Chain A
Amino acid sequence: MSELTKKTDEDVIEKPLPPNWILQHPMYQHLMNLDVGDSAQVHAAFLVYLDLAEVRQWKEVSGVGCSELRLVLLEGREKEGEPTQTVLPLPVHRGLCHRSVRSVLAIGSPMLLCVVASDSSLVYQRMCDGLLTPDPPVGIQDQGRRQHRKRRQQH
């Protein structure tokens, strides 16, 4: 009876992941098989995939190869029914040229650059074409005389 119990316990506990679980992940293998980016860029793309799909719960996240740039891109929707966005994942040690950015922008969907650091932390940066006017700073008021009085006190 105790052996039976033990066997049941073992069934309930998850098997520990092998150290190279990333390499065996179907999505990682899919990205590698696109045969476009180098292994560092594919690794970065995979980490971004995990973040989008599992942490941020994006829908329909998929990997796309861009042969022109020799890079793997990711596509997905932030929420059901929203338009697809394109994410450009890059490891931090790489450089970025404006031409590559323009190529990705030319795809037409909203673009995010995601930079992956060596500790796997991610930073997203949205990019778009043209001149995007920023939101105005908050709390702008005409100070009137107060501002001049303040300055005079300082001197």
Chain B
Amino acid sequence: MDSPEQKITKTVSREDASKESMANSRHVIGIHFCGPTPLVWRADELKSARELGIIGTLVGSLARQPRQNTRLGRPLELLPEEGRLLADMGRAAVIPDSTNEDPEVNPEQVEQYHAGLENSFQEQGAMVLADRKTTLLRVMTEKHNEDSGSQEDSDGAVRDRLEALEHGFSFPRTAMAVQLCTARAGLSHCPEVRRFLAADWPTPRDERSETRFRVFRDLRRQGFYLTSAGKFGGDYLVYPGDPLRFHAYFIVVCISMDESMPLCDVLAIARLGSNVKKTVLLCSSGESQEDDREEVVYTSLQWSGMV
């Protein structure tokens, strides 16, 4: 009893799976921008990103646990540096915002989708009605067992009630459950299109972003894992391995070589580092040379100050 909609889903999944297995080792991660923020939606892409050392942070609410933020779901929000590094590695593609595109949608697909929705609606209505009938029967049987009426009377009463239920029953549209297939609609591009889109990364080029990116890239190159360090007042937290398995070693503060830091701030963050047993790293991009590979210089504020 497959509905047309279900059939389509299955076919597309099979196609996607075969294409993905072909391009497995060079799987390009699709990035959707929400304003300036890069987001990753697909579960397999989150996994790919993590395998590349890009951790990001989950920011989506969970449908069944909306009123908490201990456990969050997709999308994965990337730091600008994470997105840019993925793009530089050729592993990311910016998926254009489909709402801006020319709405030349396939009318046949639209028709099929609506037909599928209608089928789902009818099915769900039937299921709810059946459910209510069962409940009614159970309640009335219990009631009958308590009272001591005759068998025929109670049967007749049950039949009447069931008929009344069927006549009076209506399943409102608003109560219908609708499945959103994130793996399908608008969020997948075939690998060829993604490789084409990979060249197109929006980059703000102010000094601070540039410094942050160079530090990120250099530490990533050394094999560290980095996440954002909002709780500690720095730019990044640096882990020697996956953040799920290790404590952070460093709190990174990105500054330019000539930027003047207030001494109070230096002491404050050094003190914080000392309290949480992490070394504070002052990081700057070195003097510019011909190629892009400036050296990044690191100064450690030792977590134990002088006794």
A-contact 0/1 string along B260-297, CB 8 Å cutoff:
11111011001001000111011010000000000001
| Residues from 25 to 84 in B contacting A, C-beta threshold 8 Å | none
Assess whether A99 is in contact with B263, with CB atoms less than 8 Å apart.
no
Assess whether B305 is in contact with A125, with CB atoms less than 8 Å apart.
yes
Assess whether A124 is in contact with B300, with CB atoms less than 8 Å apart.
no
Secondary structure dominating the interface of B:
mixed
Assess whether B250 is in contact with A90, with CB atoms less than 8 Å apart.
no
Question: Is B201 interfacial (CB-CB < 8 Å)?
Answer: no
Question: Is B306 interfacial (CB-CB < 8 Å)?
Answer: yes
Assess whether B250 is in contact with A131, with CB atoms less than 8 Å apart.
yes
Assess whether A96 is in contact with B281, with CB atoms less than 8 Å apart.
no
Chain A residues closer than 8 Å to B124, beta-carbon distance: none
Chain B residues closer than 8 Å to A124, beta-carbon distance: 305-306
Point out the residue from B261, B298, B301 that lies within 8 Å of A97, measured CB to CB. Answer: B261
Point out the residue from B257, B260, B298, B305 that lies within 8 Å of A126, measured CB to CB. Answer: B305
Question: Is B119 interfacial (CB-CB < 8 Å)?
Answer: no
Question: Is B153 interfacial (CB-CB < 8 Å)?
Answer: no
Chain B residues closer than 8 Å to A96, beta-carbon distance: 260-261, 263, 266
Chain B residues closer than 8 Å to A126, beta-carbon distance: 301-302, 304-306
Assess whether B305 is in contact with A99, with CB atoms less than 8 Å apart.
no
Assess whether A127 is in contact with B257, with CB atoms less than 8 Å apart.
no
- A125, B264: Cα distance in complex, Å: 12
Question: Is B120 interfacial (CB-CB < 8 Å)?
Answer: no
Point out the residue from B264, B299, B304 that lies within 8 Å of A102, measured CB to CB. Answer: B299
Question: Is A136 interfacial (CB-CB < 8 Å)?
Answer: yes
Chain A residues closer than 8 Å to B260, beta-carbon distance: 95-97
Chain B: which residue is nearest A133 at the CB level?
B249
Assess whether A127 is in contact with B263, with CB atoms less than 8 Å apart.
no
Point out the residue from A93, A102, A131, A136 that lies within 8 Å of B279, measured CB to CB. Answer: A131
Assess whether A131 is in contact with B281, with CB atoms less than 8 Å apart.
yes
Assess whether A129 is in contact with B298, with CB atoms less than 8 Å apart.
yes
Chain B residues closer than 8 Å to A134, beta-carbon distance: 249-250, 273, 277-279, 303
Q: What residues make up the interface of A, taking CB atoms closer than 8 Å to B? A: 90, 92-99, 101-102, 105, 112-113, 115, 123-137
The 5 closest A-B pairs by CB, nearest first: A95-B260, A132-B300, A124-B306, A126-B302, A99-B257
Taking A101-B282, A130-B298 as given, write out 10 further A-B residue pairs in contact, using a Cβ cutoff of 8 Å, ordered by the A residue number. A90-B263, A98-B257, A105-B299, A126-B305, A127-B302, A129-B299, A131-B250, A132-B302, A136-B247, A137-B277
Q: Can you list 27 A-B pairs with a CB-CB distance of less than 8 A?
A: A95-B263, A96-B261, A96-B266, A98-B282, A99-B257, A101-B282, A102-B257, A102-B299, A112-B306, A115-B266, A123-B267, A123-B305, A124-B306, A125-B270, A125-B301, A125-B305, A125-B306, A126-B301, A128-B300, A129-B297, A131-B250, A131-B281, A131-B298, A131-B300, A134-B249, A136-B277, A137-B247
